[in-house]
Amino acid sequence: SLALGFLIAKETTIGLLIGAMARIVMSALHVAGFLIATQTGLAYAQTLDPTQGAQGAVMGNFLSLLGAVMIFLTNLHHLAIGAIAGSYRLMPPGEALPTADMAQLAISLVSGAFALGFQLAAPFLVFGFAVYAGLGLLARLMPQLQIFFVAVPINIVCGFLIFVTLLGAMMTIFLNFYAAQMGNFL
């Protein structure tokens, strides 16, 4: 019964690894959404995010839901099911866990997801820098102008226009990253 307990613990660990991989990939959209919301002025509106158990930016929640819908729409959820089946070939039952490989996979996945979040939000970071630099210059040239009342509507409208323009490309990049990461087990 002790050997059976170790086998169950090993299979549970592998299952948690695959589930954590999918969750970490989805967290890239949270990072991108938070950065986008911060740069466009929408981070002030924090909502309760039940998936994170905390408050999150509206854009992060929207991108996460859209990412999940796109995964199912493009049939990439079959890769997650295939990753479960492929895990039995890579780590057969009864053998020792490759903990060094698992740790390396987790580290590369977390860094890749974080980098992907920044890459998805990069146009908004450039936009935010340009807008805030211009508004700072305008505030110095015209100190009597209430720059905050001018800046917020312009920032939100321009942020939405950029978001609508880039949404298709952002989701394509995310889906390619998801497919590459879930393909590690195939």
For the stretch 107-148, pLDDT in tens is: 999 999 999 999 999 999 999 899 888 888 888 888 887 887
Rounded to whole angstroms, the Cα distance separating 66 from 24 reads 16
Rounded to whole angstroms, the Cα distance separating 126 from 113 reads 20
In the DSSP assignment, the letter for residue 45 is S
Token pair listed for 121: 């939000």
Q: What is the pLDDT of residue 125?
A: 93
Q: What is the pLDDT of residue 50?
A: 60
Rounded to whole angstroms, the Cα distance separating 162 from 153 reads 14
Q: What is the pLDDT of residue 38?
A: 86
Q: Is the dihedral of CA 139, 143, 148, 149 positive or negative?
A: negative
All residue ranges of the chain with pLDDT < 50 are: none
Q: What is the pLDDT of residue 46?
A: 63
